[in-house]
Structure 1
Amino acid sequence: MEPQHLRDLYDRQLRRDARPDGPGCRVERVGDVVRQTGPAHAWNGVLWSGLDAEDADRAIAGQIDHYRAEGLSFEWKLYAHDTPADLGARLVAAGFAAEEPETLMAAEAAALPHDVPLPAGVELRAVTDESGVRQVAEVHERAFGTDSAHLERQLLDRLAADPDTVTAVVALADGEPVSAARLELCPGTDFAGLWGGGTVEAWRGRGLYRALVAHRARIAAERGHRYVQVDAADTSRPILRRLGFLTLSTTTPHTYGG
Structure 2
Amino acid sequence: MENQHVRDLYDRQIRREARPEGPGCRVERVGDVVRQTGPAHAWNGVLWSGLDASGADEAIAGQIAHYRAAGVSFEWKLYAHDTPADLGDRLLAAGFTAEDPETLMTAEAASLSLDVPLPEGVELRAVTDEAGVRQVVEVHERAFGTDSSHIGRQLLDHLAADPGTVTAVVALAAGEPVSAARLELCPGTDFAGLWGGGTVESWRGRGLYRALVAHRTRVAAERGHRYVQVDAADTSRPILQRLGFHTLSTTTPYTYTV
TM-score normalized by structure 2? Answer: 0.99
1:149 is displaced (CA, Å) by 1.1
Please give the secondary structure, in 2, of the residue aligned with 1:182: strand
Match of 1:48 in 2: 48
RMSD of aligned residue pairs (Cα, Å): 0.7
Shift of 1:114: 2.0
Distance 2:65 2:145 in 1: 32
Residue correspondences, number: 258
CA distance in 2, matches of 1:254, 1:188: 29
Aligned partner of 2:167: which letter?
T
Q: Which residue of 2 aligns with 1:243?
A: 243
Q: Which residue of 2 aligns with 1:103?
A: 103
Amino-acid identity (%): 86
In the alignment, the residues of structure 1 paired with residue 170 and residue 68 of structure 2 have an alpha-carbon distance, to the nearest angstrom, of: 36
Matches of 2:141 and 2:255, distance apart in 1: 20
Opposite residue 6 of structure 1, the aligned amino acid is V
SS in 1 for 2:40: coil
Aligned partner of 1:121 in structure 2 is 121
Q: CA deviation at 1:113?
A: 2.0
1:110 CA displacement: 1.7
Q: Tell whether the 8 Å contact from 1:115 to 1:215 is kept in structure 2 after alignment.
A: no
Counterparts of 1:3-82 in structure 2, within 5 Å, are: 3-82=3-82
- CA–CA distance in 1 between the matches of 2:182 and 2:113? 18
Matches within 5 A, 1:153-164: 153-164=153-164
2-structure distance, mates of 1:112, 1:133:
28
* 1:79-135, Cα deviation, whole Å (9 max, x unpaired): 000000000000000000000000000001122122211111100000000000000
> Within the alignment, does 1:130 sit opposite 2:130 as a pair?
yes
Shift of 1:239: 0.4
Aligned equivalents of 2:150 and 2:177: distance in 1?
19
Give the match for residue 256 of structure 2: 256
Give the gaps of 5 or more residues in structure 2.
Answer: none
Q: List alignment gaps of at least 5 residues for structure 1.
A: none
> Any idea what the Cα deviations from partners look like across 1:46-70, whole Å, max 9, x if unmatched?
0000000000000000000000000
